Amino acid sequence: MKRSRKKQQMTVYLDPDLFKAVSDTATRRRQSGSLVVETALSVFFSPEEGTGQAALTRRLDRVDKRLSRLERDTGITVETLAQFIRFWMIMTPALPESSAAAARAQAAERYEGFIDADFFCGCRPLCKSFLTHIDV
């Protein structure tokens, strides 16, 4: 026969506001304060199994952390690209006026070929609108 596990008693000291919140929740749910605290502790120590508002809050916190990391990574990528473009523009000599028009036409043709490639997966309208904002 299996012996049932007997719950162990623990004495804890709570902040008066926290004690009032536990008492109010127990009264509202018509449960003992011990059960309210036990449930709260089990949710705290097993966050993946929690349900309700606490679990939703934890999931939203994780999403927020991921978005913050993504925002940071995007900022680093944009800054790296800006540094590369700045370096490239500093190191590349300007074309003489006689060949500048032909070079612009060839660059526009190459950019169109690049945009028309199937590698952008649906963001072509955004890329094509970029051409209207720059002088090519």
pLDDT in tens, 42-79: 877 775 655 677 778 888 999 999 999 999 999 999 99
Taking the domains of the chain in order of start, what are their residue ranges?
Answer: 16-46, 51-92, 97-135
DSSP-derived secondary structure for 77-123: HHHHHHHHHHHHHHHSPPPPHHHHHHHHHHHHHHHHHHHHSTTSTT-
Alpha-carbon distance of 92 to 82, in angstroms, equals 15
The Cα–Cα gap between 58 and 65 comes to 11
Range 27-49 average pLDDT:
83
pLDDT in tens, 73-122: 999 999 999 999 889 888 888 888 888 888 888 888 887 777 676 555 55
Backbone angles phi, psi at 68, to 5 degrees: -65, -45
Contact partners, residue 132, CB within 8 Å, separation at least 6: none
pTM: predicted TM-score of the whole model, two decimal places: 0.42
The type of residue at 22 is: V
